[in-house]
Structure 1
């Protein structure tokens, strides 16, 4: 079926290419530019095809893990991968944050290793790759990176597996491991701060997710670098980091619910509170001003 017969196809992959000139070069190894037909056949279809951000734009919305305007996944016949990645991040963060706060007198985070490998790591990494497929650069970067964070976290803490913790302790004592782990967390604080700047034009729910996570990384990093008088991670600072980690987990679940709930499964829409300076906020304000004139 041609794109003239099916406008939805044209909307998804772009307008149909003009026929190639009869004498257009077709040698695969030549340096001649591709004809319009060759370019369309190679790059004009499939999940990784070019996304034209000027058509079918979607306003910033935390439920789709996108702080800027981009082409909605609805016209591309793909499911929204953001709620899956957000849920994987939320559950793993929730368990670790509870342990950091000393819940049920649990002092060792070994139970998180399984979640960090299977759910927060692998599943979130896969969700990030599908964000890449739907053309969401921010979502792909964030979800894939935090999936990598949980995999790295699990590798460090795997008992008897990679011997990273034991090797550092054997080399320079527990202080070397705590300093190394503190630098590890501070690096993720810097990365999360970069992402936080990209959410300032989105929604309050989306912004709060990265704000809470940023504070959690900062406090946990400081807690490992600035230890108490016994040379252990500073308990009050670690607990404070765990508290903000809990807030980040619930914020991630909230954004995931906002992305899952729609007219097919819910009687209500999850409010995400658009910033006044966001595209949606400006549109609502302009509409109100026109109505009051």
Structure 2
């Protein structure tokens, strides 16, 4: 008796424009604090949690439905980065009590940044064969984590400034990437260029 296997494909929209919009918003708000334009983290937290974390997590889920391992892994990993960083800020601000706040060692965040830099370098290699906008975004993410690591461990004086401007660059490029991919899909043609893959590894 033969057994037939039926596969049902669920068609879902490309979540990349939404995910990039979330990344753009959170990095824009966070960079304003690093650059000294704004102060404190209280009103960075909502954007970190909802735009940096939840929006990218939604994009991650739908990229998995697209069978897009690269996009799903990227959005998922950075979503949980923003969950982690938001919780770390809350601990340092004393929201969970003085005991946790007093035991916060910023160098542990530095090691987390090292892990994310390693991850981002791998993702940068993948972005080489995606498009040029994403490649530049990932290069800026690499610079951001390098600056954050340098700032935490005191490697060089301008590390904080490097992180701040890299984060601002991520915001602007992510806004462009989100808009370009959205309009290209909406109009069914190349409306705004995002740059072809470099073709180095393929």
- TM bin, normalised by shorter chain, reads 0.7 to 0.9
Aligned to 2:128, which of 181, 200, 203? Answer: 200
CA-based RMSD of the aligned residues comes to: 2.5
After superposing on structure 2, the runs of 4+ consecutive aligned residues of structure 1 that deviate more than 4 Å are 166-169, 263-268
Aligned to 1:135, which of 67, 75, 99? Answer: 67
Matches within 5 A, 1:218-233: 218-226=146-154
Superposition deviation, residue 191 in structure 1: 0.9
Confirm or deny that 1:261 pairs with 2:195. no
CA–CA distance in structure 2, aligned partners of residues 252 and 155 of structure 1: 24
CA–CA distance in structure 2, aligned partners of residues 276 and 217 of structure 1: 24
Report the 3-state secondary structure (helix = DSSP H, G, I; strand = E; otherwise coil) of the residue aligned with 2:105.
helix
Cα pair distance change 1:170/1:199, threshold 3 Å:
same
In structure 2, runs of 5+ residues without a counterpart are: none
In our comparison, the structure showing a higher alpha carbon Rg is: 1
User: Normalising by structure 1, what TM-score?
Assistant: 0.62
Residue deviations 1:147-195 (CA, integer Å, cap 9, x gap): 11111111111243345xx556634xxxx62211211212111111110
Report the 3-state secondary structure (helix = DSSP H, G, I; strand = E; otherwise coil) of the residue aligned with 1:270.
coil
Aligned to 1:95, which of 29, 49, 74? Answer: 29
Cα pair distance change 1:267/1:140, threshold 3 Å:
closer
Alignment partner, residue 182 of structure 1: 110
Superposition deviation, residue 275 in structure 1: 4.4
Aligned to 2:16, which of 66, 70, 82? Answer: 82
User: Normalising by structure 2, what TM-score?
Assistant: 0.87
Length, aligned pairs only: 200
Alignment partner, residue 160 of structure 1: 94
Superposition deviation, residue 263 in structure 1: 7.2
Alignment partner, residue 141 of structure 2: 213
Aligned to 1:270, which of 185, 192, 202? Answer: 192
CA–CA distance in structure 1, aligned partners of residues 196 and 138 of structure 2: 15
Residue deviations 1:124-159 (CA, integer Å, cap 9, x gap): 101110110111111110001111111111111124
CA–CA distance in structure 1, aligned partners of residues 152 and 9 of structure 2: 46
CA–CA distance in structure 2, aligned partners of residues 143 and 191 of structure 1: 12
- On the 8 A contact 1:102/1:239 being kept in 2, the answer is no
Greater relative contact order: 1 or 2 (C-alpha under 8 angstroms, separation 6 or more)? 2
CA–CA distance in structure 2, aligned partners of residues 182 and 45 of structure 1: 45
